Amino acid sequence: MKERNQIEAQLHPSHYHVLHKLPPGDSPYVRAKHVQLVDKDPEGAIVLFWKAINAGDRVDSALKDMAVVMKQQDRAEEAIEAIKSFRDRCSKQAQESLDNVLIDLYKKCGRIEEQIQLLKQKLRMIYQGEAFNGKPTKTARSHGKKFQVTVKQETSRILGNLGWAYMQQENYLAAEVVYRKAQIIDPDANKACNLCQCLIKQARYIEARSVLEEVIQGKLTGSGDPKSRNRVKELLQELESEQLISIASTAIGLNAEDTFLAEGLDQLMSQWISYRSRRLPIFEEISSFRDQLAC
């Protein structure tokens, strides 16, 4: 550790910032990032992020970073209030990123209804052509690496999150509709397993096994991942168990707002099939599922 400190002390300031992935300069925001990433002091970083926000220094990044650190410190409720209070100081370009952080915070706090409403809002933005500021892709980050995300991939991700939220409410029929939609757009093993779970909860075991077979046969992205294989084993055990209990669905189905989204998404899919439009349509018909929900 001592040798590392000596080496760092000899580094040119610009090299030091690169080493620790710090922004250049000595502003309140930069000091907050230093305390967060170098000193490993999350509580101290939160205090400094507050100072950066109040000073108007890189407010977009300061608010988002502070909320993330607060979540890590089990202060998610405070983070939610901070975003709601200060997001009007942030740029238009930062709003989508703040929404993503807010969705994770709602999930962390168990505020499922608010999570659902925000996810629906994001779907509505896609329907109206407002996602990604009207561009077909956006640059995202994961574990320090940049990659491109398409509207199609983002829509599938949002639908997957919406399906999970419905499952927490035990609204398995609505979750099924959402997961089927997501699988049409961008299928993968994780969403297939969740769809299987929805069908099991509705005592539709034959359909559940059929969905699971696609994962077992390796037809979907992620089928070979250890996490997916373990999940498949668990679901098979549940399917094969003689103690399966049929749970009567108490799902309330799609309300007027859901119907608006479903109809809008159907229109988009029709456009996608016929031609490329500015709204980047990526949906297929789910009228049959909507009919089920209406029953």
Instruction: List pLDDT tens digits, range 74-121.
Output: 999 999 999 999 999 999 989 989 999 999 999 999 999 999 999 999
Phi, psi (rounded to 5 degrees) for 139: -90, 125
- Residue 139 confidence (pLDDT): 80
Written out in words, the top-level CATH class of the domain with range 145-294 is mainly alpha
Indicate the angle between helix axes 287-294 and 256-274, nearest 10 degrees.
Answer: 170
Number of Cβ within a 10 Å radius of residue 126:
24
Q: Taking 70 as the threshold, does the pLDDT of residue 280 lie above it?
A: no
- Residue 215 confidence (pLDDT): 96
Give mean pLDDT, residues 241-269: 54
- Residue 263 confidence (pLDDT): 62
- Residue 68 confidence (pLDDT): 97
Determine the residue type at 295: C
- Residue 272 confidence (pLDDT): 53
Instruction: List pLDDT tens digits, range 43-56.
Output: 999 999 999 999 99
User: Is the CB of residue 283 less than 8 Å from the CB of residue 269?
Assistant: yes
Which residues are paired to 145 by β-bridges?
142
The region that residue 285 occupies, defined by phi over 0 for left and psi between -120 and 50 for alpha, beta otherwise, is: beta
pTM of the complete model beyond 0.75: no
Q: Where are the domains of the chain?
A: 2-109, 145-294
In CATH terms, are 2-109 and 145-294 the same topology? yes
Instruction: List pLDDT tens digits, range 112-163.
Output: 999 999 999 999 988 888 887 777 788 877 666 788 888 889 999 999 999 9
CATH number for the segment(s) 2-109: 1.25.40
Check residues 144 and 221 and name the one with the higher pLDDT.
Answer: 221
Indicate the angle between helix axes 59-72 and 95-109, nearest 10 degrees.
Answer: 10
Check residues 267 and 247 and name the one with the higher pLDDT.
Answer: 267
Instruction: List pLDDT tens digits, range 162-203.
Output: 999 999 999 999 999 999 999 999 999 999 999 999 999 998
- In terms of Cα–Cα distance, which of 259, 276, 220 is closest to 123? 259
CA atoms within 13 A on the CB side of 46: 15
Residues whose CB falls within 8 Å of the CB of residue 161, separated by 6 or more in sequence, listed in order: 103, 107, 115, 119
